[in-house]
Amino acid sequence: ISLLLLDETENKSIKKEIELLQLQDNKNNGLEEQIELFKNRLEKLEKKSKLFVKHYYDNYELKYEGGFKNGQRNGTGSYYYMHGTLLYKGDFKDNIYNGYGKYYYETGNLMYDGKFKGGKRNGLGKEYYYYGQLLYEGEFKDNKYNGSGKWYNKDNKLAYNGEFKDGFYNFSFIF
């Protein structure tokens, strides 16, 4: 497993490829000392600047690449499913989706494009059917349609244009 560190504060790259041997057996072949040395170096670099990192799953597929500060994903980055397909690309704050981002289905098709707050869809955004067709565009609150929005059926026809609350459209009957 390798980790690439880049110092962004001085606009020059400090490339250090740090090999963290395979941690499959948990045998004591000096791994604990190497890991502790790695953690100390990383801690010193973090205090100095915001880092760009690459993290990998145990199967060596890329897990995350992007901004990293205070031991967490911070700034812009890309997060991947375990099999390598992009899951999320956008802003992070303390390991959580926060700011603008795009969220993807495992197939690679776009699921959501818009604002996040606290790891949830909050603010303006667009949600898509799994096959790529627009499903909804408008306001979100805590992952639900909330506020003004447009909902489209599977034939790409506008089915509703108006107010939503807690994920449902508001309508009234006139008798």
Residue 65: its pLDDT value, please? 94
Residue 121: its pLDDT value, please? 98
Residue 19: its pLDDT value, please? 40
Whether the CA torsion 19, 17, 34, 43 is positive or negative: it is: negative
Residue 134: its pLDDT value, please? 97
Residue 66 CA to residue 87 CA, distance in Å, equals: 14
Residue 89: its pLDDT value, please? 97
| Among the listed residues 92, 118, 87, the one whose alpha carbon sits nearest the alpha carbon of residue 103 | 87
Q: Using CA atoms of 79, 82, 86, 92 in order, give the dihedral in degrees to the nearest 10.
A: -10
Segments of the chain with pLDDT less than 50: 1-26, 172-175
Residue 45: its pLDDT value, please? 60
Q: pTM for the full model? A: 0.71
What spatial distance separates the first Cα and last Cα of the chain, rounded to whole Å? 67
Residue 29: its pLDDT value, please? 58
* Cβ contacts of 54 within 8 Å, gap of 6 or more: 2, 3, 4, 62, 64, 65
